[in-house]
Amino acid sequence: RRMNNKINQNNPWSIDPFSVLLDLKRHWWNILLMALAGAMLGVVAAIFLPGTAYTSSAVYAVLGNSSSPVSNVQNAKRVSTSMISVLGSDALESMVVKDLGGADYKLSASYIADTNLISVKATAATPRLAFLALKSALIHYPALMSNLTSDLYMVTLQAPQIPKTASFSDQLPAKIALGTLLLAGLYCGVVVLLSVLRDTVKNDSDMRHKVDARMIGKIPFLKGNRK
């Protein structure tokens, strides 16, 4: 077939969705490999890149005047909800900031399901700062919760300690997803770009514009029957 160069210059490329999808299908294995490579890069980034945080934690048991385990579990649920609100309050933040001198930190509390236990955590950029932030919060929060826990008391099961290793678990899922989407998306973009720029006949319109010949008909090809 002889190409019509004049017409081809006016239509240098065309977008055919079916052709693009077919090219992506042909490269599915490479796309999968790029996604796995991106996930591994996300893990490496979460571990080694600056911004990795350190978390200091403490665990408390909530007990009350009642000796019933069921009551203790219910009390723990109620106290954990109140503690989460207190840890995120401006009043506690001002107290901790006063102790630490305006340092950047994050406090959180979570109820351990089906128990009377509450886990309290502080996350910061350095191990010592995380420890000091949690220690300061645990010193000041009882005053803010005195009216909520008058009939309860809390027993320390795990005291705050200076963390020895970085806690990148919070960043890990996001960075894995980002790395996966970034590399796989970049490779898909290259495949799509090459598919669009490839100067081939992709559909009936290309046949009319790129080939200096008259199309008199089409013969379907069914790969399954190989006919």
Mind listing the pLDDT tens digit for each residue in 115-134? 778 888 888 888 888 888 88
pLDDT at position 117: 80
Cα 213 to Cα 207: distance, rounded to the nearest angstrom: 8
- Asked whether residue 32 carries a pLDDT value surpassing 90, the answer given is yes
185 pLDDT higher than 90: yes
pLDDT band of 35, cuts 50, 70, 90: very high
3-state helix, strand, coil in the chain (%, to 5): 50, 15, 30
| Region 163-167 average pLDDT | 74
pLDDT over 60 (residue 38): yes
CA distance linking residue 84 with residue 119, whole number of Å? 10
pLDDT exceeds cutoff 70 at 9: no
Q: What pLDDT, on a 0 to 100 scale, did the predictor assign at position 212?
A: 78
Please compute the mean of the pLDDT values over residues 30-39 and round it to a whole number.
92
pLDDT band at 2 (very low <50, low <70, confident <90, very high): very low
Compute the CA torsion angle 150, 151, 155, 160 (nearest 10 deg).
-30
In the predicted model, what is the mean pLDDT of the chain? 77
50 pLDDT band, cuts 50/70/90, is low
What pTM does this model have? Answer: 0.50
Higher pLDDT, 211 or 192: 192
SS (H, E, C) the chain: CCECHHHHHHCCCCCCHHHHHHHHHHCHHHHHHHHHHHHHHHHHHHHHCCCCCEEEEEEEEEEECCCCHHHHHHHHHHHHHHHHHHHCCHHHHHHHHHHHCCCCEEEEEEECCCCCEEEEEEEECCHHHHHHHHHHHHHHHHHHHCCCCCCEEEEEEECCCCCCCCCCCCCHHHHHHHHHHHHHHHHHHHHHHHHHHCCCCCCHHHHHHHECCCCCCCCCCCCCCCC
Stretch 87-102: mean pLDDT: 78
